[in-house]
Amino acid sequence: MSEKEELVVIVGDVNVSDTPEVLESYSRDESFVRQMKPQFVARPQNADEVQEMVKWANRTGTPLIPVSSGQPHFRGDTVPSLGGVVVDLSRMKRIIRINRRNRVAMVEPGVTFAELQSELKEEGLRLPMPLCPRSSKSVIGSCLERESTIIPKYQWDISDPLLCTEVVFGTGDLFRTGEAAGPGSLEDQWASGQAQTNPMGPFQVDFFRLIQGAQGTMGIITWATVKCELLPRLQKPFMVASQRLEDLLDFTYRLLWARLGDELLILNNYNLAAILAEDPDDIKALRDTLPPWVLIVCVAGYERLPQERVEYQEKDVMDTAQRFGVEPVTAIQGVQGSNVLEALSTVSAEPYWKLRYKGGCHDIFFLTTLEKTPEFTTCMYQMAATAGHPSTDIGIYLQPQIQGRACHCEFNLSCDPGNPKEVEKVRHLFFNASKELMEMGGFFSRPYGPWAEMAYSRDGQSAMALRKVKGIFDPNNVMNPGKLCF
């Protein structure tokens, strides 16, 4: 049998594709990662089919590139490095279980934020959201990427909200991580009251941490449980405007210490405009009216005494603001906090907000601590000026993480993909700024594309240790080879 015929046996005729258009669409993304076509795209529907595909890949030495979110992709992690077969998990769309009592949902990798959000709402739950994800973004994909979420107080561990998983390792073995591993089947565990809320283990190894952040190089997740939060009954968003980023930081630190507010993030004027406005002209106009920096903090009340909770939090936020000389308001330059909150609470409208201004966007992001973000911001602006990229077209997103122990620092460089000169300019800026920001101490914990070589050249011991891990879980290097340090 040909390779295609073998794949057809596993996933069915209609779920294997090698048409030029399809292969072309998976051969590239919005990043600067080199284009390469896969040989096939296969769409399994369940764990058995995934497992069979991984076993087949080991037999034939074929690379597999798992993809869970729909297009457009941005990071290069779903672009084949060495050809192979794209494993498109978008057919695995089951929301297997929502457990209100334990605030947890079990979903397959093809489930998007929009799909899960509406189901959770009916149960009085919500997901901790990344910043306005695109409508095609997979919940599990986002969790596996350790993408930051906008409510830092619920992020006890950087791995949140990912909990237990079922995974097919690169060896073809099926495994369940955390308390889901056992003893007992899932049904047995449910019968004794378990709800797969504990991601740790089983026992002495946190297997889930080895899959998360791996860009599909260790195995393929076939379901995961994710932490959900209560749906607010009442919400009151505030914004604090500032000419200088520095002037917002002590106030933000104090809110984090006091666990005041739920959504808590800082955007620059460009990004706030890009999220709210509908087209390039509106974005430009709004950006130019907004103050350079806006802190967004939202207080909320849940099922328990919602009004009282909002009231005490609002008063405490105001007292804290007074102490730090800042002024939380409900509207800035005609932008209502409620509109901002609405945008932050759901997936992005189309077109995706990062593409809305010029049609293309390249993100540089890393972890640092909040007080260091002004230095990075200054550096980014200086490098943009040197490169001739307008600083007004740089989006900035600062997201406290792990309840305030770290901060996700993200620069969004918009560009017109139809303008080769501009693309080239942004490409240079992207590479040079990434290097410089890393030199300054930016921790590129999620090293996509060209960052991998930069990051691992600074931390050779981690690369060596990870290769040992890779040798255990994917000894034949069939899982997304060429990514990270593999």
Partner 1 sequence: MALRGNVYRILEDIVGPQNISEEPVILDTYAFQWLAETISGTKFCTRPEAVLLPGNVEEVQAIIKACNRYGIRYKAFSTGWGPWNTVEGEGVLQLDLRRMNRILEIDEKNMYAVVEPYVIGSQLQVEAMRKGLNCHLIGAGANTSILASATSMAGYGLTGIFTGYSNCNVLAVEWVLPDGEVLRLGSLGSGAGWFGGDGPGPSLRGVMRGMIGALGGLGVFTKCGVKLYPWYGPPTTPIEGIHPLDGMPIPESFRVHSLTFPSWEALADAVYRIGEAEIGYVMGRALPPGLIPALNVGSATEYAQMLQLVSTEGMMDEFKYAIQIFLGANSARELEYQERALEEILSESGGKIILMLEEQSVKNILFRHLIKSEGISRVFQLAGTFATSLGAGTSWDAAVASSKFGEQLKRKYIERGAIADDGGDLAWGGAYQHGRFGHLEEIIMYDFQDADSLKGADEYVEESAQATIEKSLGQPISIVRGMAEHFGPTSCDYHIWMRRIKKAFDPNITADPSFYIEPEQPPGK
Footprint (CB under 8 A) of partner 1, residues 137-156: 146, 156
- Which of 238, 446, 474, 479 forms a contact with partner 1 (CB under 8 A)? 446
Q: Is 462 in the site for partner 1 (CB under 8 A)?
A: yes
> Which of positions 298-337 make contact with partner 1 (CB under 8 A)?
302-305, 308-309, 311-313, 315-316, 319
Amino acid at 219: G
Q: Is 485 in the site for partner 1 (CB under 8 A)?
A: yes
Amino acid at 210: L
60 or 244, CB closer to partner 1? 244
> Which of positions 5-34 make contact with partner 1 (CB under 8 A)?
none
Describe the crossing of helices 246-258 and 373-387 by its angle, rounded to 10 degrees: 140
Q: Is 365 in the site for partner 1 (CB under 8 A)?
A: no
- Which of 14, 19, 21, 193 forms a contact with partner 1 (CB under 8 A)? 193
CB-based contact 241:293 (threshold 8 Å): yes
Q: Is 396 in the site for partner 1 (CB under 8 A)?
A: no
What is the nearest approach in angstroms of partner 1 to the Cβ of residue 256? Answer: 8
- Which of 226, 466, 478, 479 forms a contact with partner 1 (CB under 8 A)? 466
Which region among 86-94, 209-217, 272-280, 385-393 touches partner 1 (by CB under 8 A)? Answer: 209-217
Give the pair of three-digit tokens for residue 162.
């990912």
Q: Is 85 in the site for partner 1 (CB under 8 A)?
A: no
- Which of 37, 43, 73, 103 forms a contact with partner 1 (CB under 8 A)? 103
Q: Is 66 in the site for partner 1 (CB under 8 A)?
A: no
257 or 392, CB closer to partner 1? 257
Q: Is 256 in the site for partner 1 (CB under 8 A)?
A: yes
- Which of 344, 367, 383, 413 forms a contact with partner 1 (CB under 8 A)? 367
Residue 164 CA to residue 149 CA, distance in Å, equals 18
Encode 357-395: b = buried (16+ Cβ within 10 Å), e = exposed. bbebbbbbbbbbbbeebbebbebbeebbeebebeeebbb
What is the nearest approach in angstroms of partner 1 to the Cβ of residue 205? Answer: 5
What is the nearest approach in angstroms of partner 1 to the Cβ of residue 369? Answer: 5
Q: Is 431 in the site for partner 1 (CB under 8 A)?
A: no
What is the nearest approach in angstroms of partner 1 to the Cβ of residue 444? Answer: 6
Q: Is 402 in the site for partner 1 (CB under 8 A)?
A: yes
What is the nearest approach in angstroms of partner 1 to the Cβ of residue 304? Answer: 4
Number of residues that bind partner 1 (CB under 8 A): 100
- Which of 135, 198, 339, 476 forms a contact with partner 1 (CB under 8 A)? 198
- Which of 210, 245, 265, 396 forms a contact with partner 1 (CB under 8 A)? 210
Q: Is 231 in the site for partner 1 (CB under 8 A)?
A: no
Q: Is 476 in the site for partner 1 (CB under 8 A)?
A: no
Which region among 52-60, 98-106, 349-357, 378-386 touches partner 1 (by CB under 8 A)? Answer: 98-106
Which region among 11-19, 332-340, 385-393, 404-412 touches partner 1 (by CB under 8 A)? Answer: 404-412
What is the nearest approach in angstroms of partner 1 to the Cβ of residue 181? Answer: 4
Q: Is 2 in the site for partner 1 (CB under 8 A)?
A: no
201 or 351, CB closer to partner 1? 201
Q: Is 184 in the site for partner 1 (CB under 8 A)?
A: yes
Q: What is the 3-state secondary structure (H, E, C) of the chain?
A: CCHHHHHHHHHCHHHEECCHHHHHHCCCCCCCCCCCCCCEEECCCCHHHHHHHHHHHHHHCCCEEEECCCCCCCCCCCCCCCCCEEEECCCCCCEEEEECCCCEEEECCCCEHHHHHHHHHHCCEECCCCCCCCCCCEHHHHHHCCCCCCCHHHCCCCCCCEEEEEEEECCCCEEECHHHHCCCCHHHHHHCCCCCCCCCCCCCCCHHHHHCCCCCCCEEEEEEEEECEECCCEEEEEEEEECCCHHHHHHHHHHHHHCCCCCEEEEEHHHHHHHHCCCHHHHHHHHHHCCCEEEEEEEEECCCCHHHHHHHHHHHHHHHHHHHCCCCECEECCEEHHHHHHHHCCCCCCCCCCCCCCCEEEEEEEEECHHHHHHHHHHHHHHHHHHCCCHHHEEEEEEEEHHHCEEEEEEEEEECCCCHHHHHHHHHHHHHHHHHHHHCCCECCCCCCCHHHHHHHHCHHHHHHHHHHHHHHCCCCCECCCCCCC
362 or 483, CB closer to partner 1? 483
What is the nearest approach in angstroms of partner 1 to the Cβ of residue 168? Answer: 12
Q: Is 191 in the site for partner 1 (CB under 8 A)?
A: yes
Q: Is 230 in the site for partner 1 (CB under 8 A)?
A: yes
